[in-house]
Structure 1
Amino acid sequence: MMKAIVLSGGFATRLRPISYALPKLLFPVAGKPMIYWTLDLLQESGVDQVVLAVNYLADSLRAVVGQKYKGIRINYSLEDEPLGTGGPIKLAARMLKPKETFIAMNGDIITDIDLNKMIRNHKRSKAVVTDALHEVRDPSRFGVVKLDPAGRIQRFVEKPTLREAPSRLVNAGIYLIEPTMLNMIPSGRKVSLEREIFPILAKRGRLFGFPFKGQWFDIGNLADYRKANFALLRGHAPKRDLQRRGTRFKQPVFLGEQTKTETAATVGPNALVGRNCVIRRGAHVVDSILFDRVTIGERSIVSGAIIASSVLVGKNVRIEPGTIISPNVKISDGIRIGKDAIIHPYKEITANVRPRANVM
C-alpha cells in the first residue's frame, strides 16, 4: 500500500475574506469539501496512510476530516511557521517514515489523474522524483518544464513570462518521491522544491515528468474556485431527485442534504447549494455557490454570487454578480448589494452596498 503527504497549509490569501474564517480545503466543491476530492483520489489509488501537512486553521480542518477517511489512516503534521513546499514534506516524513516511493501533492487541486500509471512510469524511469505535468494555455502562473525525449525534465522555470516559458507543460502539484530526496531538504527552514531541489535533480537527470490529459483544477483564487465548481457541476456533482412541488429547477443544479426550497422559488441554472440551506418562497438563485446553512429570504434574488456558510439573507434582497459574502453575515430586508462587492465575516448589513465596495 502507498503512503501520501498532502500539503494542506497556506493562508489562502487569494481566497479572502472567506478564508479568514474557513480553511481553504474545507471550501465546498460540487457537493463536498475540497480535501475530500484529494482523499478520494488517493483512496482509489490504493493509499492507506495520509499525513496532512497543516498550519493555518489546522484545528478546523482536523475537526472535519478526523483520523480516518474511507479506510485511510490520517495524521497531522503541524508547521509552527510556513516552510514552503519542501519543508512541510521533510517535517511530515518524520511521521510517515517512508521506506519506499511515496506521493506528495497539493491539497488544493482536483484531478482525475491515473496515479497508478504514473507510479509505473516512475518505477520504470528510476527517477528520484516524478512530477505530474499538465498543459495549460497560459503557463505564467506556474512552474513550467522542458522535457527531453526520454521524459527527463531538463529545465524547471518558476512562473516565467509567456515569452520565457520553455513549454506549456506546468507543474501539476503531484509528485512521486523516493525517500532519498528527503536528505536534500534542509531541516528547520523554508524550502522551495521548485527553486532549490528540482533544479539539482534535473542536472543529475533524476527528475522526470509525467504529462497527463484530462481534468485538472488548481484552485488558487476565487475565479479558479468558481470555474472548478461549475465545471464539476456539469459532470461530477451527485445526482439527486429535484422534483419538488412548487419549486422550479433549471439544470444544472446541486442541492445538499437537508436543504429546503419553498413554493415559487427558482433554483438554477448553474446553482450549487450546500447542506441545511433554505430557499424561501419566490426567491431566485442563479449562477451562484451557496455554502452550508445559508437562508435566502422571500423574493430575494441571488445572481452570480459566492455566499459562505451561516449567512442569513432577508426578504426582497438583490445580490448582484461578482459578490463575495463571507461566513456569519446577516443582510436585512430590502438591501441591494452591488456588483463585485465583498463582505467580510460577521457583518450585519443594514444599508445598500455599492458596487465593488469592501465591507470590513
Structure 2
Amino acid sequence: MKALVLSGGSGLRLRPFSHSMPKQLLPIANKPVIDHVLENIRDIGITDIGVVVGGQAPEIITALGDGSRWGTRLTYLHQKKPLGLAHCLLQAREFLGDDDFVVYLGDNMLLDGISDLASDFSADRPAAHVVLHKVSDPTTFGVAELGPDGEVSRLVEKPSYPRSNLALIGVYFFTPAIHEAVRAIGPSPRGELEITDAVQWLLDRGIRVTATEYTGYWKDVGRVEDVLECNRRVLDGLSPAVAGEVDDMSVIRGPVVIEPGARITRSVIEGPVIVGASAVLTDSHVGPHVSIGRGCILRDARLDGSMALDGAVITGVRGLHHSLIGRSARVGPSGGVTQQHRLVVGDHCQVEVAV
C-alpha cells in the first residue's frame, strides 16, 4: 500500500502567512502540520509516500527531505496548477501503479491517527473508502449520504440543501479502480477535477464504496482560528520535559516542554506550553496554551492561548491573547494605556501596540 499526500494548495484563507510559507508547514505545538500527517501514515506501516507539491515546492522539499527521518521514502510530484484533488491522482498515476493507496490532505490534523480507518478499508477492500465527520455546516463540504446498510449511496459537493451532516474529510482509501473513474470525469463548474465526482462515478456504476465516521479530533487548519484551536488541543496532550535552562527565580506550573538551548529567566510559565530550542524568555508570563518557536525572544511580555513562530521577538507587551505571531516578526510597545490585544501578524512584520 502507498500514500499520496496533497500539499499543493495556496492557502488563501491563511494569508498573510501563506504568502511566505506553505500552510502545511505551519507548526502545531512546534511541529509542522505535514509532520503530523507523515507520522500518521508511517504508523499504519506505509513507507512509500508521494507528496504532491505546487508553487511552494522548494520550501516543502527542504523541510521534509527524503523522508528518512520517519523511516519512509518520499517521491515529489509537481502539480503546475491546483486543478482539483482528482487531478492529483492523474499526476501521480505512474507513482501509484497498481497498488492500493491512501490519499491524505497535508493540512488536516487527525489527532487519533488513522489506524482504525486503514483497518476498516483492509477488512473487505472496497473500491473506495471515505472518512466522514459530523459538521455543523455541511454546505461548505463534500457530503456523504448513507444507505440503510451504512454504505455510501451518494456524494454531493457543497450542497445548498444537505441531506446529511457527514462531511468528507481529508483522508480517502482507494484500490486501483479509482483510476478509471478519475480518467472518466470532467471538470466541475469551478474548473477542477473533484474527488467526489470520481467516487460518485463508481457509485453510479454499482461499485461498492464504504465509509467510516471519524469520531476523534479532526481539524482542517485552513484559517488562523483553526490553527490556534488545533494548537491548544495538541498542547493539552503535552508531556512535560525540561531540557533548557530555568533560573531559580522562575516558576514552572503544569505540563511544560522547554527544548534544549532555551533559557527562562525571572519568568512564569503556566502549562501547557512548549518553548522552542534557543528561545529566550525574560521577565515574562507565558501560558496557558502557548507555543514559542525556536529562537524567539520574549522580554517583559505576557501572552496566553497564542503562538509565536520561529524567530519572533515580543517585548514590553503584556496582553497578547489568542494571537499568531509570524516568523521573525517583531511586536513591541508604542505608548498608551494598558489593554489586551489580539494580533494576526505575518512573517517579518514589525508591530507597535499600546501598553
**TM superposition score normalised by structure 1:** 0.84
- Offset at 1:313? 2.4
Contact 1:112–1:215 at 8 Å: present in 2 too?
Answer: yes
The separation in 1 between residues aligned to 2:289 and 2:116, in whole angstroms, is 34
What residue ranges of structure 1 are gaps of 5+ in the alignment? 338-360
Equivalent pairs, count: 327
Residues 209/87 of structure 1: CA separation in 2 closer, same or farther (3 Å cut): same
Partner of 2:347: 327
SS across alignment from 1:183? helix
The 5-angstrom pairing of residues 1-360 of structure 1 reads: 2-68=1-67, 69-94=69-94, 96-113=95-112, 115-161=114-160, 164-186=161-183, 190-194=192-196, 196-203=197-204, 204-235=206-237, 237=238, 239-241=240-242, 243=252, 244-262=264-282, 264-280=283-299, 282-298=300-316, 301-315=319-333, 320-331=340-351, 335-336=353-354
The separation in 2 between residues aligned to 1:100 and 1:73, in whole angstroms, is 16
Partner of 1:356: none
Residues 269/198 of structure 1: CA separation in 2 closer, same or farther (3 Å cut): same
Contact 2:125–2:175 at 8 Å: present in 1 too?
Answer: no
The separation in 2 between residues aligned to 1:123 and 1:248, in whole angstroms, is 49
Contact 1:8–1:25 at 8 Å: present in 2 too?
Answer: yes
The separation in 1 between residues aligned to 2:316 and 2:114, in whole angstroms, is 47
Residues 122/331 of structure 1: CA separation in 2 closer, same or farther (3 Å cut): closer
What residue ranges of structure 2 are gaps of 5+ in the alignment? 247-251, 253-263
The separation in 1 between residues aligned to 2:3 and 2:23, in whole angstroms, is 19
SS across alignment from 2:92? helix
Describe the superposition over 1:275-331 as per-residue Cα deviations: whole angstroms up to 9, x where unpaired.
111111x22122211111111124554232111101122356779544211001123
SS across alignment from 2:236? helix
The separation in 1 between residues aligned to 2:342 and 2:156, in whole angstroms, is 33
- Offset at 1:85? 0.7
Contact 1:276–1:294 at 8 Å: present in 2 too?
Answer: yes
- Offset at 1:110? 0.7
The separation in 2 between residues aligned to 1:295 and 1:73, in whole angstroms, is 36
Describe the superposition over 1:260-282 as per-residue Cα deviations: whole angstroms up to 9, x where unpaired.
111x21111222111111111x2
Contact 2:37–2:106 at 8 Å: present in 1 too?
Answer: yes
Contact 1:274–1:291 at 8 Å: present in 2 too?
Answer: yes
Describe the superposition over 1:201-254 as per-residue Cα deviations: whole angstroms up to 9, x where unpaired.
22224221111211211122122112111122212x453337445111122222
Q: Which amino acid aligns with 1:267?
A: V
- Offset at 1:122? 2.3
Aligned CA RMSD, in angstroms, stands at 2.3
Residues 270/97 of structure 1: CA separation in 2 closer, same or farther (3 Å cut): closer
The separation in 1 between residues aligned to 2:217 and 2:31, in whole angstroms, is 17
Describe the superposition over 1:64-86 as per-residue Cα deviations: whole angstroms up to 9, x where unpaired.
11112311111110111122010
The separation in 2 between residues aligned to 1:86 and 1:193, in whole angstroms, is 5
The separation in 1 between residues aligned to 2:325 and 2:339, in whole angstroms, is 10
**TM superposition score normalised by structure 2:** 0.85
Contact 1:142–1:159 at 8 Å: present in 2 too?
Answer: yes
The separation in 2 between residues aligned to 1:115 and 1:239, in whole angstroms, is 26
The separation in 2 between residues aligned to 1:89 and 1:254, in whole angstroms, is 37
Contact 1:126–1:206 at 8 Å: present in 2 too?
Answer: no
Describe the superposition over 1:58-113 as per-residue Cα deviations: whole angstroms up to 9, x where unpaired.
1111111111231111111011112201011221232x233221111111111145
The separation in 2 between residues aligned to 1:304 and 1:140, in whole angstroms, is 28
Contact 1:151–1:210 at 8 Å: present in 2 too?
Answer: no
Q: Percent identity?
A: 26
The separation in 1 between residues aligned to 2:194 and 2:110, in whole angstroms, is 23
Contact 1:279–1:295 at 8 Å: present in 2 too?
Answer: yes
- Offset at 1:16? 0.5
The separation in 1 between residues aligned to 2:115 and 2:275, in whole angstroms, is 33
The separation in 1 between residues aligned to 2:229 and 2:162, in whole angstroms, is 24
Residues 167/299 of structure 1: CA separation in 2 closer, same or farther (3 Å cut): closer
Deviates more, 1:96-105 or 1:54-63: 96-105
Contact 2:317–2:332 at 8 Å: present in 1 too?
Answer: no
SS across alignment from 1:269? coil
Partner of 1:340: none
Contact 1:146–1:166 at 8 Å: present in 2 too?
Answer: yes
